[in-house]
Amino acid sequence: MQDHLIRVVTEDGRLRAAAADTTQLVREICHRQQADLTARVALGRLLTGAALMGCLLKGNQRLALMVEGNGPLGRLMVETDADGSIRGKLQNPQADLPPRDDRFDVAGAVGRAGFLHVIKDLGLKEPYRSMVQLQTSEIGDDLAWYLTHSEQVPSCVAVGVELDSEGEIAAAGGFLVQALPPGDQEQLAQLENRLGTLPPTTSLLRQGDDARRVLERVLAGQTFSVQQQLPLEFSCPCSRRQISDMLAGLGQKELEAMIEEQGGAEVTCDYCREVYRYSQAELEALRS
């Protein structure tokens, strides 16, 4: 089944929720990033979180999430848009950390101290930027903290990645539930208790559930209407023209140094790992 997301609102208008299956895009992006096992779980969680938050975008709006901790992974960066196109990268894709208590040590790989940065391009003059301290470094908890305390929308975020015996991505996905004004504390308490009894989303996906069925379990007993169904996919908008413009912007001195010292240039996109090669003649043309 293709990666997808579904967004719903409960009939009483008090909750909105989204669930996503991100298995294929997480698999592809982690492969491109050459991420080790712990890094795959960490990046996969952030990719899923971006997909869930991205479903609230409209038109040409874009969202970027950056986790910057003091752990071995360094900086994790994910970008998405309103159409479900997602890309991501890792500063250091080899965390080289052993599991703790039979679980991948995502918090240790990210680092116990650091920040979550949220950048939204809403089509205004300047992007909206916000930053909060990491609370647990488990990704889902930190996204929920940001939404609840910075955007003032009580939220629950569950994101997960499950690997098979070969270390490949077997399942990735998650869900987001938000309380809408005026809110119902009793309803939220019941929801929180129910979520604590649910199997991991990845387990549900592996047994054949899709995003809608996940939400039916999350919102058990409540009627909801579907607001959006969206395919999700890895996509990187880099291009040779974009790279050429970047090289031309370096200035004549740097281009001359490339020509004299290297006889050309090779530029690799950090996200998709596509390699763009330039001959001496092509660099000279950019210099003129």
CATH code (residue 160)? 3.55.30.10
Structural domains in the chain (count): 2
Could you tell me if 5 and 20 are in contact, meaning their C-beta atoms sit under 8 angstroms apart? yes
CA 183 from centroid of its chain's CA atoms:
28
Statement to judge: residues 180 and 120 lie in one domain: yes
The pLDDT assigned to 5 comes to 98
* CA 113 to chain CA mean position, Å: 20
| Residues in the chain where the model's pLDDT stays below 50 | none
- Phi, psi angle pair for 149, to nearest 5°: -100, -30
What is the predicted pLDDT for the residue at 221? Answer: 80
Which pLDDT score is estimated for 86? Answer: 98
Distance CA 15, CA 29 (A): 32
Residues 259 and 208 in one domain: no
DSSP 124: S
Report pLDDT for 143: 97
Domain co-membership, 199 together with 246: no
Q: Is cis: bond before 182, omega within 30 of 0? A: yes
CB 40 within 8 A of CB 169: yes
Instruction: Tell me: do 148 and 256 sit in the same domain.
Output: no
Last residue of a domain, one of 193, 208, 234: 234
Domain match, 245 and 226 both: no
Enumerate residues 6+ apart whose C-beta is below 8 A from 45: 106, 138, 139, 140, 159, 160, 161, 174
Domain limit, last residue, from 213, 234, 255: 234
- Going by C-alpha positions, the residue among 142, 25, 37, 139 that lies closest to residue 88 is 25
Query: pLDDT value at position 20?
Result: 98
Is 254 in the same domain as 186? no
Cα angle, residue 44 at apex, residues 228 and 74 outer, rounded to 5°: 130
pLDDT in tens, 22-76: 999 999 999 999 999 999 999 999 999 999 999 999 999 999 999 999 999 999 9
267 and 227 belong to one structural domain = no
- For tokens 């209407």, the residue is 225
Closest Cα to residue 190, out of 220, 168, 162? 220
Same domain, 142 and 270: no
| CB neighbourhood size of 40 (10 A) | 26
Residues 155 and 261 both lie in one domain: no
Distance from chain centroid for Cα 75:
13
220 shares its domain with 264: no
CATH of residue 275: 3.90.1280.10
| DSSP-based three-state secondary structure for 80 | strand
Quote the domain boundaries for residue 83.
Answer: 4-234
Which two tokens mark 242?
């974009």
Residue position matching structure tokens 């609230």: 56
Residues 47 and 117 in one domain: yes
The answer on 251 and 228 residing in a single domain is no
pLDDT of residue 110: 97
